């Protein structure tokens, strides 16, 4: 299956008809969500050979997004630590159309999740905090998901449905589902947040692709 720009038939918004859109949401879209977006793309590229492989599309926005702004310099440094590409990033304010198009919304905090759901668009069953989604994914038997040979999009859609059915798996504490804002903090704190995000993403990308991280 080919990615965008490869000449396949496209549907609404110019996307491949068979695509799965992941939207990462934080506040300003200059720290947490850019890090999460680019680490997700990097992980997909590492495991599947192309960040657009199979129609998986990854982007981000902020509930109070700094429209047109670059990501924070410390966020770029964190991405460089992981070998991920920070180039070409532009901040965006979260709009209705972003939520409408998203198949999976992963937020930095519970407050962000509530804001996304309050926008409507039947977002409740496809919006989770990142750490919440990680917890739910860990409870899913990978053998119950479609194999990657059936397509990454089919597997991703099944994963979201399965996670929504496990919404009763509550966090031990409210703080367990939070990724705290490093905006204005020194680089060591940014790096600790980057490590948190990377650890939360690893099982999610493994579940999405069926391919574990390379050691």
Tens-digit pLDDT profile for residues 80-112: 999 999 999 999 999 999 999 999 999 999 999
Give yes or no for a contact between 89 and 62, defined as CB atoms under 8 angstroms apart.
no
**Domain annotation for the chain: domains and CATH numbers:** 20-208 (3.40.50.2300)
Q: Position of tokens 């000449």?
A: 7
Q: Which residues, other chains included, contact 179 with Cβ-Cβ below 8 Å and sequence gap of 6+?
A: 26, 32, 108, 109, 129, 130, 131, 193, 196, 197, 200
- Per-residue pLDDT of 56-83, as tens digits, reads 999 999 999 999 999 999 999 999 999 9
The 3-state DSSP class for residue 23 equals strand
135-189: per-residue pLDDT in tens? 999 999 999 999 988 889 999 999 999 999 987 777 788 789 999 999 999 999 9
DSSP letter for each residue of 175-196: GGG-----TT--HHHHHHHHHH
Classified as helix, coil or strand, 107 is strand
Q: Give the count of alpha carbons within 13 A of 14, CB side only.
A: 3
């Amino acid at each position: 299956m080919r990615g965008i720009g490869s000449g396949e038939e496209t549907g609404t918004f110019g996307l491949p008809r068979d695509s799965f859109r992941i939207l990462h949401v934080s506040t300003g879209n200059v720290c947490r969500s850019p890090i999460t977006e680019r680490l997700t793309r990097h992980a997909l590229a590492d495991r599947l050979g192309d960040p657009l492989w199979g129609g998986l599309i990854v982007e981000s926005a902020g509930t109070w997004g700094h429209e047109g702004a670059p990501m924070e310099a410390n966020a770029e440094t964190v991405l460089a630590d992981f070998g991920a590409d920070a180039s070409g990033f532009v901040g965006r304010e979260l709009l209705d159309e972003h939520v409408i198009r998203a198949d999976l919304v992963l937020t930095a905090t519970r407050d962000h999740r509530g804001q996304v759901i309050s926008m409507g668009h039947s977002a409740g069953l496809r919006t989770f905090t990142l750490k919440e989604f990680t917890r739910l994914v860990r409870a899913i038997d990978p053998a119950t998901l479609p194999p990657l040979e059936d397509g990454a999009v089919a597997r991703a859609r099944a994963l979201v449905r399965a996670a929504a059915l496990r919404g009763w798996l509550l966090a031990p504490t409210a703080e367990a589902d939070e990724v705290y804002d490093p905006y204005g903090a020194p680089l060591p704190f940014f790096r600790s947040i980057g490590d948190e995000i990377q650890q939360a993403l690893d099982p999610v990308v493994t579940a999405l692709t069926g391919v574990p991280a390379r050691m």
